Chains A and B, each alone.
Chain A
């Protein structure tokens, strides 16, 4: 990479150069450094997205050339494919129940852990561990088995006198099982909240206490507003990743999305359409609807919060 040869660019020679050449060199150096990203973005993101958009208007099975069918795929999704609508419903339920539960739990535990106790480090480790291993096949296998008919969850329910639940026989129960797996991994959000809480100075709470503010007042008037950008960031990232959840649904239902499509999350249905039924065009259309949905949700989240700090102008440190 001899783009800026240090031997010939002594300070004086540098200054003596034409400003245009200097600027050109500076630009070339900059682009040389970010070129891996630019090439990668073009080859693995932009071009594939263009192909995907084109395919979404075609019928394509990988073997015969794509056949243009206009908006048929999109129309079929919303009018001729009840399984798709069901999958969308299940996914929205998973996202809108799972993400708030997970974030609420994460914030609650972060607030409890935001003390100077010596044990905090150990607890933080324990709570965070599930997030680290949560995406693995091993954990999905584990989850599948603790919810089995004679597994520990039913054992615990039995201890409280509640009847055994057939987690794999009831679609709602199966979805609930997936949601609990997601809530169990609240640790990464908790860490981000903890970092945010650490930035709020204790003096503010003391001043509020002196003025007679109680716990809830302090929570709603100090903690929540000062954490709002962190909460928003968490919400956006968690919503997107929840929308794309694949491994747990795939492993727990053994790739079928059952029982009765109860765990047929969007990504799983897309995967099955694309790679089991070879409906590449239809799957591409599904992907674009997903992008649109995620985009709209993210847009709403950003719009509704005015305290969002944009990274490039904000993070000058």
Chain B
């Protein structure tokens, strides 16, 4: 779960406002699509329910789980939508699909596969990423060592200055924080 504790009240308000705006757009577009393509929308709504759930559960900014589950879930839903489009595109036909246990099993199994993929693959990828980062850090350290051998320790002056400034800033923040705390 993403924590919003580090966001300021203004940022939170902005986020809420944007969320309301998106919901409005979704409702408008959804209503429009429901009017012109009601059978497709019925199949999509019931078939993509796991994605909706994933979207609700997934509070991350990137919405990776939603995209992953949604994309795989859609693979399960899409053949039935195509059947609607190529055969009888009616609400009855759509209701037939959503009440067909096998069809729903296919759609939800696809979603489940999506979830499975999302549960397992990131860990494996993260291990690779960690190894790659460590190699990159070692390479950069090697470059720095070569620079120090050629130019002496003073080549790190900019970094030292930056660190000192950060320390000073930290101290100042600490002092003002203490003062704020004491005054508060």
Q: Do A and B interact with each other, yes or no?
A: no
Chain B residues with CB under 8 Å of chain A are none
